[in-house]
Chains A and B, each alone.
Chain A
Amino acid sequence: MKNSLLDIVRNQARHALDALRSDSGSVAERERQLDDLFGAAQLVGDPALEDEVRAISQAIVAHHDDGVAALARFVESLQAQLVPDEASAISEFADDVPTISKPRAPTIGDSSPTRVHRSGRRNKSSFDTGEHLTLLNIFRDEAREGLERITSILIANTGAKPDDDQLNELMRLTHGLKGAAGTVDLPRIASLAHEYESAIERIRTGHCRWSSTVCDDLVEIADGMHLSIANASGPEQAALGVAGLGERLERLGTSPIEASIASEMQTDEVAALQITETHKDQSYAERRRPDRRGADSPMLRVDPGRIDRLMNCVGELVFDRSRIEKRAGKISSEVSLIREAMNALAAQRGAWVESGAPVRRDQLGSALAELEERLATIMPALESELGRLSEDTSLLKRTEFALQDGLTAVRMQSVRSLFGRLTPQLRAIARQANRQVRLVTAGGETEFDKTVADQLVDPLIQLLRNAVAHGIESPETREALGKRAEGRIMVTARHEGNVVVIEVSDDGAGIRTDELRRRFVQDGRWTAEQASQASDERTLQMIFDAGTSSRSTTDQLAGRGVGLSMVRETVTRLGGEVLVSSQPGQGTRFTMHLPLTTAVANAMLFKIGGHVFAISNVHVLDQSEIALPLRETAPDAHGHDLPLVPLHDLLGFPIPENLRRCPVVLLEFMGKRLAISCDRIIGTREIVIKNLGPMLAGISLYAGGTISPSGKVQLILDPAALVNIAYPGPPVKLANVATEELKASVARRILVVDDSKAIREAMRHMLLKAGYEVVTASDGATAWQSLQEQSYAAMVTDLEMPGEDGFTLLSRAGNYIRQTGMRVLVISSKDTTENRKRAESLGASDFLAKPVRQQLLIDALRAAQRTP
């Protein structure tokens, strides 16, 4: 590590020397060189070095030639110091956690961290800044994949030289990277990739001898590239990041003497990325800002199949709309019949009025009878059309769900890429802290929402740092304890119902709760009594609270204070939870529970009866106050009276005694305005919307729930229900008969999916005999189509089908199955535990082995339909 930093200092010093000797640059230019040199020296973190550079600079300013001579000597001494095995001495940080910084070029005496010097000669890019940034983002993913492959091949060969195939693969990968970088106009990265390729070639031909050091170097350089590209917020920065690496490639495997400085890769900036910096000065908020990572790419890479699903939904929408349009047409013709009847009646009445003669009872009677008859014929037709309209809207709703699902799926990415970002970080962290650690991951195929994934990067890295800095012991200590010298950190991901569970566990020293207790008492956070009464669990959970001890103390546990509270805050903000458990001497485990998707909305929060409720801000017009006692209306901003829904009454809470004026929130929904009263308006907040579960889903008053930062559930009110209360109208009675019949017919309908015609027909017969209605499909795609067209009580599907197999169908229909409650039975000729488990996890109610016997099938169907 220190090598690369000293490398940079040396190059910088050389540069400065050249500039000073050549006399060609301006004074300002030369001063800048010296500034950069000092900056480089500061990055090394060695005060002696800084002093030396400072002295040289002063000498140059005071007595030019002496100073220059001193500089030359400095350069030489640096040359001599560069020995490959020099262990990094940058490890005062058992306590302070290193972070990776933006490139800094501080000047002497000036501590502004973000000034960047521009070099004199710079290649003009052919894209403008915006385009270039977009291209960088596109390149990022590709680079990441390529570099990951490269490092994994290298790591697999630390002992022996990779064989020819592997070397060719490496060259192919770097060559590809070079091409891609060139295409998106990142010439310096392309050059570096070229250097890398040459280095591999030298290894292949034997010019450069393979050794574990060479391997390490290559890995480190690849990591350096990876990190710089991933973290750069722009192409310039990415290029800066890789600046020092070209030289190292040239030096690969050779003794550490001259590398030519004529390389085009020299820039005037100082920007090694595996720099460790303790950010005592930077405020916590700055450090935590997610955009500093630059990895928040606005682009998504999506599997085209998911886009196809969306297209299908859009197609469905067209059908749904035309169905509803036709229905509207039919209703409208019924309505015109009514109008005709009305007109006839009006005409009759008019005739009577005109004639002036008194109307006889039988005349009246027959006119009314005729009207009644007309209406009697129209009404049933109208009612049935209205009934079908409600069906049409359910179909529309289903399409809406499918569309939503499809969009959600588009945003899903597998956790693997998240894991991928962790590995190089962990290597860097471990190197700096002088620990040997291996990262083991599992569950990479677990998928969740990209925004959630992106926001987990920081917390996960924080947890890794923790594990390395405070968990994993040094190799010597570990061996003394009888553990493997290499520590292991496991990061796993899995689904559990609606949540994704991510665990970070290490086999390090664990957390000693007695020490924590002592610490908390010492800090004044707990009294001695509290400390003795607190359970181990409670004590452990305290580590997430921001420490009372300030960051300036170099105490082991204080360093932990800020980072972990950031972790908890992020996880809670995403609607999840983080827990910790630990065994002293054995290790620590952090478990994060996160919701699968984040439906986030802006909401207005208010308090009633001591409990907080929310309503989506979209519907909120205004807020005001009215005097007590509450009347039936409340005025809006223009003085119009809006119906008032007294939430206290509605929700069953008493109005607070000392309330003088009652706050009201004015809402609008579907064109109807109303006011709701409350105790206190809290304000707006971004909330994660969660559903209340099937037991409460039917209550029209609530649209869902959310979890407050303190972990309490808060109910979200549904404006539709409030409108119905404020504007009571005749409830629309739909033809109940139609819906009951519909329900009954659905309950009998089964979808059978199997690629074998014989099996399909056999099952059809079995099911028909038992009184079911059967629809068959020969493959997953057709089955999916059928599911869109009608409702089924259950689906029986084969697993082994060509093309889309049963599992694929289940995955695709996952949300559909959950939402409609359709039962799924899986049939397979491979009755293995794995298949069963997988089927169950995908939503199957039962698993039958082939050959399927009638009785078993019927029993299984009946059982599945009985369970709620």
Chain B
Amino acid sequence: MACRSIRQAPALAASEQTGTFHSAVGKKMKNVIVFSIGRAVYAVELGWIREVFTLAHVTPVPHAPSAIAGVVNFRGSILSILDIRGLGGNRAQASQGESALLLEVDRCQAALRAGTIDEVSSLVADPHTGVFVDSRHRQVTLLDPPELFDAAMNNRALNTRVVASHEE
């Protein structure tokens, strides 16, 4: 049947939502949802996340880019399901019951397979290495949805950001 939302991410203030997305208050800390797929840990900033939900029936899309692990019905819209691992060229098939993040970039929505959702927390960059770590001190790959969407559409790999860049 329908996807059910587990949580709704807090919406950013309206002024922050016009035009391009600006990071959360305080450059050093990023408010994110952290999830792990296998042993890899990923995070996405809250501002990009509309909802967290469970996938309903997944329809495979033959000949889609490998990063797209199928489509799903979400409140009457057909959403593409993105799979980070698929970017490397290994296509996987999403299945019903998995957790997913509803991302929105520029009014375009897609679902991101989110394996096991660990927590909503703040990421800090380790002062010595510059690497992002979560509350358990695990190294976290911070995903950038606009780039993610672009890479998925064009079938290319991500320039993943594990290390905080200097300007931050």
Could you tell me if B59 and A714 are in contact, using CB atoms closer than 8 angstroms? Answer: yes
Q: Which chain A residue lies CB-closest to B60?
A: A611
Query: Could you tell me the distance between the alpha carbons of A788 and B57 in the complex, rounded to whole angstroms?
Result: 41
Asked if B31 lies at the interface with its beta carbon under 8 angstroms from chain A, I say no
State the Cβ distance, A676 to closest chain B Cβ, in Å: 14
Q: Which chain A residue lies CB-closest to B80?
A: A695
State the Cβ distance, A822 to closest chain B Cβ, in Å: 12
Asked if A694 lies at the interface with its beta carbon under 8 angstroms from chain B, I say yes
Residues of B within 8 A of A692 (CB): 61, 71, 78, 80
Residues of A within 8 A of B20 (CB): 845-846, 863-864, 867
Asked if B162 lies at the interface with its beta carbon under 8 angstroms from chain A, I say no
Asked if A365 lies at the interface with its beta carbon under 8 angstroms from chain B, I say no
Asked if B146 lies at the interface with its beta carbon under 8 angstroms from chain A, I say yes
Could you tell me if B19 and A863 are in contact, using CB atoms closer than 8 angstroms? Answer: yes
Could you tell me if B80 and A836 are in contact, using CB atoms closer than 8 angstroms? Answer: no
Instruction: Count residues on chain B whose CB falls below 8 Å from chain A CBs.
Output: 39
Could you tell me if A836 and B108 are in contact, using CB atoms closer than 8 angstroms? Answer: no
Query: Could you tell me the distance between the alpha carbons of A805 and B1 in the complex, rounded to whole angstroms?
Result: 44
Query: Could you tell me the distance between the alpha carbons of A701 and B113 in the complex, rounded to whole angstroms?
Result: 24
Residues of A within 8 A of B79 (CB): 693
State the Cβ distance, A474 to closest chain B Cβ, in Å: 34
Asked if B129 lies at the interface with its beta carbon under 8 angstroms from chain A, I say no
Asked if A482 lies at the interface with its beta carbon under 8 angstroms from chain B, I say no
Q: Per-residue CB proximity of B1-17 to A under 8 Å, as 1/0?
A: 11010000000001101
State which residues 695-712 of A face B: CB under 8 Å: 695-696, 698-699, 701-702, 705, 707, 710-712
Query: Could you tell me the distance between the alpha carbons of A345 and B136 in the complex, rounded to whole angstroms?
Result: 81
Could you tell me if A860 and B76 are in contact, using CB atoms closer than 8 angstroms? Answer: no
State which residues 114-168 of B face A: CB under 8 Å: 146, 149-150, 152-153
Residues of B within 8 A of A285 (CB): none
Residues of A within 8 A of B150 (CB): 868
Could you tell me if A577 and B76 are in contact, using CB atoms closer than 8 angstroms? Answer: yes
Could you tell me if A579 and B2 are in contact, using CB atoms closer than 8 angstroms? Answer: yes
Q: Which of A594, A844, A868 contacts B76 (CB under 8 A)?
A: A594
State the Cβ distance, B59 to closest chain A Cβ, in Å: 4
Asked if A469 lies at the interface with its beta carbon under 8 angstroms from chain B, I say no
Asked if A833 lies at the interface with its beta carbon under 8 angstroms from chain B, I say yes
State the Cβ distance, A838 to closest chain B Cβ, in Å: 11
Asked if B46 lies at the interface with its beta carbon under 8 angstroms from chain A, I say no
Could you tell me if B107 and A715 are in contact, using CB atoms closer than 8 angstroms? Answer: no
Could you tell me if B73 and A712 are in contact, using CB atoms closer than 8 angstroms? Answer: yes
Q: Per-residue CB proximity of A67-91 to B under 8 Å, as 1/0?
A: 0000000000000000000000000
Q: Which chain A residue lies CB-closest to B149?
A: A868
Could you tell me if B1 and A710 are in contact, using CB atoms closer than 8 angstroms? Answer: yes
Q: Which of A537, A690, A833, A847 contacts B78 (CB under 8 A)?
A: A690
Asked if A109 lies at the interface with its beta carbon under 8 angstroms from chain B, I say no
Residues of A within 8 A of B37 (CB): none
Residues of A within 8 A of B80 (CB): 692-693, 695-696
Residues of A within 8 A of B78 (CB): 690-693, 705, 707, 713
Could you tell me if A711 and B2 are in contact, using CB atoms closer than 8 angstroms? Answer: yes
Residues of A within 8 A of B98 (CB): none
Residues of A within 8 A of B72 (CB): 713
Residues of B within 8 A of A498 (CB): 77
Q: Which chain B residue lies CB-closest to A704?
A: B78
Q: Which of A594, A711, A833, A868 contacts B106 (CB under 8 A)?
A: A868
Could you tell me if A837 and B19 are in contact, using CB atoms closer than 8 angstroms? Answer: no
Residues of A within 8 A of B149 (CB): 695, 868
Asked if A375 lies at the interface with its beta carbon under 8 angstroms from chain B, I say no
Could you tell me if A715 and B59 are in contact, using CB atoms closer than 8 angstroms? Answer: yes
Instruction: Count residues on chain A whose CB falls below 8 Å from chain B CBs.
Output: 50
Asked if A299 lies at the interface with its beta carbon under 8 angstroms from chain B, I say no
Asked if B110 lies at the interface with its beta carbon under 8 angstroms from chain A, I say yes
Query: Could you tell me the distance between the alpha carbons of A717 and B96 in the complex, rounded to whole angstroms?
Result: 23
Query: Could you tell me the distance between the alpha carbons of A710 and B57 in the complex, rounded to whole angstroms?
Result: 10
State the Cβ distance, A724 to closest chain B Cβ, in Å: 13
Could you tell me if B15 and A836 are in contact, using CB atoms closer than 8 angstroms? Answer: yes
Could you tell me if A840 and B18 are in contact, using CB atoms closer than 8 angstroms? Answer: yes
Asked if A106 lies at the interface with its beta carbon under 8 angstroms from chain B, I say no
Residues of B within 8 A of A651 (CB): 62-63
Could you tell me if A713 and B109 are in contact, using CB atoms closer than 8 angstroms? Answer: no
State the Cβ distance, A513 to closest chain B Cβ, in Å: 15
Residues of B within 8 A of A593 (CB): 75-76
Could you tell me if B76 and A695 are in contact, using CB atoms closer than 8 angstroms? Answer: no
Asked if B84 lies at the interface with its beta carbon under 8 angstroms from chain A, I say no
Could you tell me if A497 and B77 are in contact, using CB atoms closer than 8 angstroms? Answer: yes
Q: Which of A711, A844, A860 contacts B57 (CB under 8 A)?
A: A711
Could you tell me if A499 and B75 are in contact, using CB atoms closer than 8 angstroms? Answer: yes
Asked if B24 lies at the interface with its beta carbon under 8 angstroms from chain A, I say no
Query: Could you tell me the distance between the alpha carbons of A651 and B62 in the complex, rounded to whole angstroms?
Result: 5
Query: Could you tell me the distance between the alpha carbons of A341 and B15 in the complex, rounded to whole angstroms?
Result: 67
Query: Could you tell me the distance between the alpha carbons of A142 and B158 in the complex, rounded to whole angstroms?
Result: 60
Query: Could you tell me the distance between the alpha carbons of A564 and B113 in the complex, rounded to whole angstroms?
Result: 33
Asked if B101 lies at the interface with its beta carbon under 8 angstroms from chain A, I say no
Could you tell me if A541 and B1 are in contact, using CB atoms closer than 8 angstroms? Answer: yes
Could you tell me if A694 and B2 are in contact, using CB atoms closer than 8 angstroms? Answer: no
Asked if A559 lies at the interface with its beta carbon under 8 angstroms from chain B, I say no
Asked if A664 lies at the interface with its beta carbon under 8 angstroms from chain B, I say no
Asked if B29 lies at the interface with its beta carbon under 8 angstroms from chain A, I say no
Asked if A487 lies at the interface with its beta carbon under 8 angstroms from chain B, I say no
Q: Which of B18, B64, B76, B109 contacts A847 (CB under 8 A)?
A: B18
Query: Could you tell me the distance between the alpha carbons of A714 and B71 in the complex, rounded to whole angstroms?
Result: 9
Asked if B68 lies at the interface with its beta carbon under 8 angstroms from chain A, I say yes
Asked if B92 lies at the interface with its beta carbon under 8 angstroms from chain A, I say no
Most buried by B among A593, A705, A713, A833: A713
Q: Which chain A residue lies CB-closest to B148?
A: A868
Query: Could you tell me the distance between the alpha carbons of A141 and B142 in the complex, rounded to whole angstroms?
Result: 56
Could you tell me if B18 and A836 are in contact, using CB atoms closer than 8 angstroms? Answer: yes
Could you tell me if B152 and A695 are in contact, using CB atoms closer than 8 angstroms? Answer: yes
Q: Which of B63, B68, B75, B106 contacts A701 (CB under 8 A)?
A: B63
Query: Could you tell me the distance between the alpha carbons of A594 and B77 in the complex, rounded to whole angstroms?
Result: 9
Could you tell me if B109 and A576 are in contact, using CB atoms closer than 8 angstroms? Answer: no
Query: Could you tell me the distance between the alpha carbons of A696 and B68 in the complex, rounded to whole angstroms?
Result: 9
State which residues 29-62 of B face A: CB under 8 Å: 56-57, 59-62
- Which 7 residue pairs are nearest across A and B when measured between Cβ atoms? A846-B19, A713-B59, A651-B62, A593-B75, A576-B76, A712-B57, A695-B80
New A-B pairs, 6, CB < 8 Å, besides A836-B15, A867-B105:
A537-B4, A576-B76, A701-B63, A713-B78, A714-B59, A867-B20
- The contact sample of 14 A-B pairs, CB cut-off 8 A, is A595-B76, A651-B63, A694-B108, A696-B68, A696-B71, A705-B59, A707-B73, A707-B76, A707-B78, A712-B56, A837-B14, A840-B18, A846-B19, A868-B106
